[in-house]
Amino acid sequence: MAKQTPRIADIESLDQEGRGVAHVDGKVIFIEGALPFERVQFVSHHVKSTYEIATTTEVLKASSQRVTPGCQYFGTCGGCAMQHLEFSAQVAAKQRMLEADLWHIGRIRPEKILSPIQGTPWHYRHKARLRVRYVEKKGGVLVGFNEKASSYVTFMDSCEVLPKYISDLIVPLKTLIGQLSIKQSLPQIELAVGEDATVLLLRILEALDERDLPLLQAFEGQYGVQLWTQTKGPNTAQPLFDHGDRLHYSLPEYSLEYPFSPIEFTQVNPGINRVMIRRAMQLLQPQANERIADFFCGLGNFTLPIARSGAQVYGVEGSQALVKRAIENASLNGVHNVEFAESDLFDMTPELLQELGYFDKWLIDPPRDGAMELIKSLPDDGVGAPGRIVYVSCNPSTLARDVAILTHVKDYQLKAAGVMNMFPHTAHVESIALLERP
């Protein structure tokens, strides 16, 4: 692309990626690094007939909510998108994104906007996937997140959203990997932080040399972490050495403890997870005489707290490994009024749903693709449908799509919705919604 002359735009809003949105000469321009109500100078790097993607070259009139990013790598690293926006303003922007999707996609507005759930802005991230590259021209090993819109690994020595002691490990990790025989065959490190243990899972493409093991064991001893390896699929993940402590998180409010494997899905932000579960219970209001379904139940994150109410709970999950873990967690915690089943909820049909029997209430916590087939399987006439649904979402677009079906086809009312800032400084929007039948 030929060198462009910078242009000027007035920013109207933020998009789902945390970019400023403007209209210039009849086209939508998505401008990285720009905030609402700012005037910026920009240069486009991705030009289509109806829109352009651009980068801010100069802020001509700054927003009062613009702040200095807390990380020196912000702007290059693709891990965060909104550090230049004041923290409470980030949450407000996510609330607007949720409301905009509910209206523009679902043509629905909630009767009540729930107060946002916020947490600490820094050092919150207990699960992460770090990329690794050996690049001799850049001085050796790189460990970190990808650069923005790139497959290149960011040159970074710290990360402000990882726990502080993990951030401090980035430089020692680079040194360790640079000493290994497989330094060019180690593309990724999965981080999993529990309450008493921390696991660094090394994804390796060739076998370790026997000379590597003393280096790895010494690293474990010095920094108090567990090193695991994974050679192929998830079943090949295993610890390099014997350890006493295992990964787990707890929900003290419900007297629950959850052991988990580093490859199993858990929420990245344990503080927000606890408050999210409390809100879900407040909205669901489980009672001892009810039968409640927890769809996409994972390892029982919501299932077991619901069961503490005395309700009979039926958890459904598509992953066999997570169903096994959920059963183990129920047994460990002495929770017997639960049942778990493996089922692909993306292939749900009205007939299969009817076979599960009647439920008074549902809790749904699907992945980004949402729960459309499950929602569509509900009867249109409402006979046998649950009276209340609590929907936890990590994608406001699919939430809005599914809520549209529930309200416009299945005769539910959207009583309340709100956001939970599970991923501060990113544009990721976690939300929760309450739906009821009249």
Domain residue ranges in the chain: 7-66, 93-120+269-436, 127-239
The tally of CA atoms less than 13 A away on the side-chain side of residue 272 is 25
Q: Please give the class, per CATH, of domain 93-120+269-436.
A: alpha beta
Q: Determine the pLDDT at residue 139.
A: 79
Q: Give the distance from CA 385 to its chain's centroid.
A: 29
* Residue 267 in marked binding region: yes
Among residues 394, 422, 429, 433, the one annotated as catalytic is 394
Angle at Cα 257 formed by Cα 256 and Cα 259, nearest 5°? 150
Which pTM does this prediction carry? 0.95
- Residues 79-127: pLDDT tens digits? 999 999 999 999 999 999 999 999 999 999 999 999 999 999 999 999 9
Q: Determine the pLDDT at residue 244.
A: 78
Joined together, the tokens standing for residue 269 give 């932000």
* Residue 301 in marked binding region: yes
Q: Determine the pLDDT at residue 82.
A: 96
- Residues 191-215: pLDDT tens digits? 999 999 999 999 999 999 999 999 9
* Residue 37 in marked binding region: no
Superfamily of domain 7-66: Nucleic acid-binding proteins (2.40.50.140)
Question: 85: which residues sit within 8 A by CB, 6+ positions away?
Answer: 18, 35, 63, 65, 66, 67, 93
CB atoms within 10 A of CB 413: 14
Q: Among 209, 187, 191, 207, which residue's Cα sits nearest to residue 199? A: 191
- Residues 141-183: pLDDT tens digits? 999 999 998 999 999 999 999 999 999 999 999 999 999 999 9
Alpha carbon distance 338, 240 (integer Å): 35
Listed as own residue / partner, the contacts of 281-285 with beta carbons closer than 8 Å and 24 or more positions apart are 281/305, 281/306, 281/309, 283/390, 283/416, 283/432, 283/434, 284/361, 284/363, 284/388, 284/390, 285/388
* Residue 269 in marked binding region: no
What beta strand segments (E) does 62-104 contain?
Answer: none
Residue 321 has pLDDT above 90, yes or no: yes
User: Counting runs of H as helices and runs of E as strands, what totals does the chain give?
Assistant: 10, 22
Residue 138 has pLDDT above 80, yes or no: no
The mean per-residue pLDDT over the stretch 239-255 comes to 94
Q: Hunting for tokens 């309200």 — which residue is that?
A: 407
Q: What is the DSSP letter of 26?
A: T
- Residues 258-295: pLDDT tens digits? 999 999 999 999 999 999 999 999 999 999 999 999 99
Q: Among 261, 125, 129, 124, which residue's Cα sits nearest to residue 202? A: 129
Alpha carbon distance 381, 66 (integer Å): 50
Same fold, 7-66 and 127-239: yes
Known active-site residue 297: no
Question: Which three-class secondary structure state does DSSP give residue 31?
Answer: strand
Fold of domain 127-239: OB fold (Dihydrolipoamide Acetyltransferase, E2P) (2.40.50)
- Residues 328-378: pLDDT tens digits? 999 999 999 999 999 999 999 999 999 999 999 999 999 999 999 999 999
* Residue 297 in marked binding region: no
The mean per-residue pLDDT over the stretch 1-19 comes to 88
Residue 2 has pLDDT above 60, yes or no: no
Cβ-in-10-Å burial (0-12, 13-18, 19+) of 321 comes to middle
Residue 319 has pLDDT above 70, yes or no: yes
